[in-house]
Amino acid sequence: MNVTLLRTIAADASRSRRIVVATLGLTQILAWGSTYYLPAVLAKPIALDTGWPLAWVIGGLSIGLLIAGFISPKVGRAIHQHGGRPVVALSSAVFALGLVALATATVLPVYLAAWSVLGIAMAMGLYDAVFATLGGLYGAAARTSITAVTIFAGFAGTLCWPFSAALVGLWGWRVTCLIYAGLHLTIALPGHLLFIPRSIPPPSEPSQDGVTTHILSSGASVASQQTQLFLFVMIATSLMIGAAITSVMTVHLLSILEARGKTLSATIALAALIGPSQVGARVYEITLGQRFHPTWTFLTAGCLMAGGVTVLLVAFPLVAVGLMLYGAGVGIMTIAKGTLPLAVFGASRYPIVVGRLALPSLVAQAVAPTIAAFLLVRRGGTSEVLRILAYAALLNVILILALRFAAGRPVRLQQPFNC
């Protein structure tokens, strides 16, 4: 009888987790599609309709990312104290508010202020907050759930770009923003409230499951504050470099490929290889990658990104191969962003750590494309940008190797630290 009851409870918990993952995965598609991927389709229609400079129209996203970066540490603390359910639910309302403000903006300052509101929503409702929510719910066992959510979200651009384009073609950019706002209120908000459970105390950390609170092995002495801070800085720096690379590639890839002689139709077809590569790499991670510690996941992601960007620089005829390598690296890097801090610092303060790690990455995402844009207009700027990206990616591989070497001795990292 007791065995049957335990099996029933385990089955119910498994079903509940699948519902949570599906809910967050679907709402992540909406959250990314209505913010990060929105300017790719709406920027030119907005500029043509309003007469605002295109650079400022696109710059709204950069403002949003900056706001998100500075808000993220506070969001992490809120999730740590109150759980992720109220935070991600509130994000749906804030997404809707920002999109309504965007749709009704008639002057540029109001448009930019709307992106500031969306920046607050992004801090509360994109990957970092969702990863923190899953970590708070499932503790060290959250790795599979984090990976599964990223598989869903990997389809955000694939689904939302054509959806946004169709809406703009039918009703214009303002109605498109209002429709996205309605979807946040009618789908995402109820989904978060109905299907995300309240915060549960994380389970005790397992000693040997591949995702423990130890960096390389299970028995260890307590780490010093200095060691924890050192590892935090290394991880934050590596994630920041990765975020800068991906933001530049996301914003400027089509321009880079066209500058190297590809037609517009060819560049779009080639860029479309990135999405399936991301999803394929994430499927690999959820099926086979669970056997390895997240430090190996992190290193694999860094190597794939470096290899992809280097191929674009030195072997451009193999551009398709380079983009698939790069896409796979980005897909796995997103998973490492969520699972590595959980494995290194443990579940008890995971939301706080994730919030702090998000700050430099989001700032890099906001600033790097603007710097790259200035370089691209110079003669030979395309090669210069690719060279900088390749050097940065190789530097990141070295940094990740150093991180693993620094963690070479067994270290247990559960004590709180200030950073």
Residue 418 located in a structural domain? no
**Total count of domains within the chain:** 2
Same domain, yes or no, for 82 and 162?
Answer: yes
- Residues 127-140 have a mean pLDDT of 90
Same domain, yes or no, for 185 and 236?
Answer: no
Residue 252 located in a structural domain? yes
Same domain, yes or no, for 173 and 311?
Answer: no
Same domain, yes or no, for 404 and 282?
Answer: yes
Query: Given pLDDT bands bounded at 50, 70 and 90, which one contains residue 200?
Result: low
Confidence check: pLDDT of 396 > 80: yes
The CA-based diameter of the chain, rounded to the nearest angstrom, is 76
Domain limits for position 358: 221-412
pLDDT in tens, 161-196: 889 989 999 999 999 999 999 999 999 999 999 999
Same domain, yes or no, for 99 and 162?
Answer: yes
| C-alpha to C-alpha distance for 280 and 300, rounded to whole angstroms | 14
Same domain, yes or no, for 243 and 186?
Answer: no
Beta bridge partner(s), residue 411: 221
Nearest 5°: the CA angle 77, 78, 82 is: 125
Same domain, yes or no, for 138 and 247?
Answer: no
Same domain, yes or no, for 140 and 7?
Answer: yes
Domain boundary among 133, 160, 195: 195
Q: What is the mean pLDDT of the chain?
A: 84
- Cβ count within 10 A of residue 408: 10
Contacts of 400 (CB under 8 A, 6+ apart): 238, 295, 298, 299, 302
Beta bridge partner(s), residue 214: 412
- Residues written for the chain: 419
Question: In b/e form, how buried is each residue of 20-38, taking b as 16+ CB within 10 angstroms?
Answer: bbebbbbbbbbbbbbbbbb
Residue 131 located in a structural domain? yes
Given this model, what pLDDT does residue 380 score? 73
Residue 204 located in a structural domain? no
Residue 417 located in a structural domain? no
Same domain, yes or no, for 245 and 393?
Answer: yes
Residue 17 located in a structural domain? yes
Given this model, what pLDDT does residue 102 score? 97
| Lowest model confidence (mean pLDDT) among 185-189, 373-377, 403-407 | 403-407
Same domain, yes or no, for 186 and 227?
Answer: no
| C-alpha to C-alpha distance for 23 and 194, rounded to whole angstroms | 10
| C-alpha to C-alpha distance for 297 and 287, rounded to whole angstroms | 13
Confidence check: pLDDT of 1 > 50: no
| C-alpha to C-alpha distance for 378 and 331, rounded to whole angstroms | 31
| C-alpha to C-alpha distance for 65 and 69, rounded to whole angstroms | 6
What is the C-alpha end-to-end distance of the chain, expressed in Å? 50
Confidence check: pLDDT of 282 > 50: yes
Helix (H, G, I), strand (E, B) or coil at 348: coil
pLDDT in tens, 310-342: 999 888 788 899 999 999 999 999 888 888 888
CATH at residue 117: 1.20.1250.20
**Calculated CA dihedral for residues 246, 25, 99, 361, nearest 10 degrees:** -30
C-alpha separations of 354 from 214, 254, 336, 359 in Å: 17, 31, 12, 9
Please say whether the dihedral angle defined by the alpha carbons of residues 133, 139, 144 and 147, taken in this order, is positive or negative.
Answer: positive
Backbone angles phi, psi at 411, to 5 degrees: -140, 130
Residue 376 located in a structural domain? yes
Same domain, yes or no, for 188 and 230?
Answer: no
- Residues 110-118 have a mean pLDDT of 97
| Lowest model confidence (mean pLDDT) among 175-179, 200-204, 388-392 | 200-204
H-helix or E-strand spanning residue 247: helix 225-259
Residue 203 located in a structural domain? no
pLDDT in tens, 81-99: 888 999 999 999 999 999 9
Secondary structure letter of residue 214 according to DSSP = B
- The tokens 């591949």 sit on which residue? 210
- The tokens 């934050």 sit on which residue? 236
| C-alpha to C-alpha distance for 75 and 358, rounded to whole angstroms | 10
Same domain, yes or no, for 175 and 228?
Answer: no
Q: Do the Cβ atoms of 351 and 77 come closer than 8 Å?
A: yes
Secondary structure letter of residue 224 according to DSSP = P
Beta bridge partner(s), residue 222: 412
What totals of helices (H) and strands (E) does the chain contain, helices first? 17, 2
Please say whether the dihedral angle defined by the alpha carbons of residues 160, 165, 171 and 172, taken in this order, is positive or negative.
Answer: positive
Copy the structure tokens of residue 79.
Answer: 């999730």
